[in-house]
């Protein structure tokens, strides 16, 4: 394992430079980052199948644009965790601030604690599993992928949602425009079970409710003008 102490090794820029230069077939696959102390953009743009373990809290955009890497944060994460993730896995052992996994196109983001507002905003294929609650406007304009919330969801969940699928075990304060509750079929139960298993989260799939698009805002209708 390669250990990088951000206090003594040139900071985040030097760390990211080393990670960006790794070839896809690198044998330097295990990395540990010490003393992040809330630093921003830690392990952004990684493009190799490596494991990066960060001991401590991180600031905004940790793991952004991740491709193939497995990134673990042993602490809390600031805004924009895993922004535009393409593939791989990002796991936060604590809580995440707003806009976690925003615009994510693939991969898996696991937040073992709770996530703040706009979790999964404009998600485009990423799978997100939150062990606790999510804040208001989560999955706003979510296009594809899955958001699994083991706790409660704040107001305006799934506002202006497209074809992403949301599963919530707890209470939903309110649904956003064009987001409705839908039937949980055996197929959806299997999907939730699979996502929970991948995330390492223990929960009963039967306790979740499914939410998605009513598909009434895809095309402009004068009767719906107040909803736009």
User: Which runs of E-coded beta strand occur in the chain?
Assistant: 2-5, 30-34, 51-55, 70-73, 89-92, 108-111, 124-130, 144-149, 165-168, 179-182, 209-213
User: What pLDDT sits at residue 225?
Assistant: 72
Burial of 21 (0-12, 13-18, 19+ CB in 10 A): exposed
* pLDDT the model gives residue 217: 79
Q: Report the relative pairing of strands 209-213 and 108-111 from DSSP bridges.
A: unpaired
Q: For the chain, what percent of residues have pLDDT higher than 90? A: 93
pLDDT interval class at 227 (50, 70, 90): low
Range 106-116 average pLDDT: 98
Quick check: is 7 in a domain?
no
In a domain, 49, yes or no: no
CB within 8 Å of 137: residues ≥ 6 apart: 117, 118, 121, 154, 155, 156, 157, 159, 176
Q: What is the pLDDT of residue 218?
A: 72
Question: Listing from the earlier edge strand, what are the strands of the sheet with 89-92?
Answer: 2-5, 30-34, 51-55, 70-73, 89-92, 108-111, 124-130, 144-149, 165-168, 209-213, 179-182
pLDDT in tens, 16-56: 999 999 999 999 999 999 999 999 999 999 999 999 999 99
Q: Are strands 108-111 and 124-130 parallel, antiparallel or unpaired?
A: parallel
Mean pLDDT of all residues belonging to the chain:
96
Q: Has residue 36 been placed in a domain?
A: no
Q: Is residue 181 in some structural domain? A: yes
Domain that includes residue 152, residue range: 98-217
Domain count, the chain: 1
> Is position 22 within any domain?
no
Per residue in 35-44, pLDDT (tens digit) is: 999 999 999 9
167 in a domain, yes or no?
A: yes
């Amino acid at each position: 394992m390669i250990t990088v102490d951000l206090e003594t090794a040139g900071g985040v820029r030097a760390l990211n430079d080393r990670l960006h230069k790794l070839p896809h077939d690198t044998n330097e696959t295990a990395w540990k980052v010490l003393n992040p102390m809330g630093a921003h953009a830690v392990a952004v743009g990684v493009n190799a199948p490596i494991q990066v373990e960060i001991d401590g809290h991180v600031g905004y955009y940790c793991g952004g644009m991740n491709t193939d890497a497995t990134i673990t944060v042993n602490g809390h994460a600031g805004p924009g965790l895993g922004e535009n993730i393409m593939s791989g896995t990002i796991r936060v052992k604590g809580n995440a601030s707003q806009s976690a996994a925003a615009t994510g196109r693939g991969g898996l983001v696991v937040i073992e604690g709770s996530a703040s507002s706009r979790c999964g905003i404009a998600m485009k294929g990423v799978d997100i599993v939150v062990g606790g609650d999510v804040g208001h406007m989560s999955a706003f304009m979510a296009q594809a992928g899955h958001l699994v919330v083991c706790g409660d969801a704040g107001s305006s969940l799934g506002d202006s949602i497209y074809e992403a699928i949301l599963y919530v075990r707890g209470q939903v304060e309110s649904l956003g425009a064009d987001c409705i509750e839908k039937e949980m079929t055996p197929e959806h139960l299997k999907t939730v079970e699979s996502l929970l298993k991948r995330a390492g989260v223990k929960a009963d799939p039967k306790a979740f409710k499914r939410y998605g698009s009513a598909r009434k805002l895809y095309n402009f209708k004068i009767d719906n003008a107040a909803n736009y």
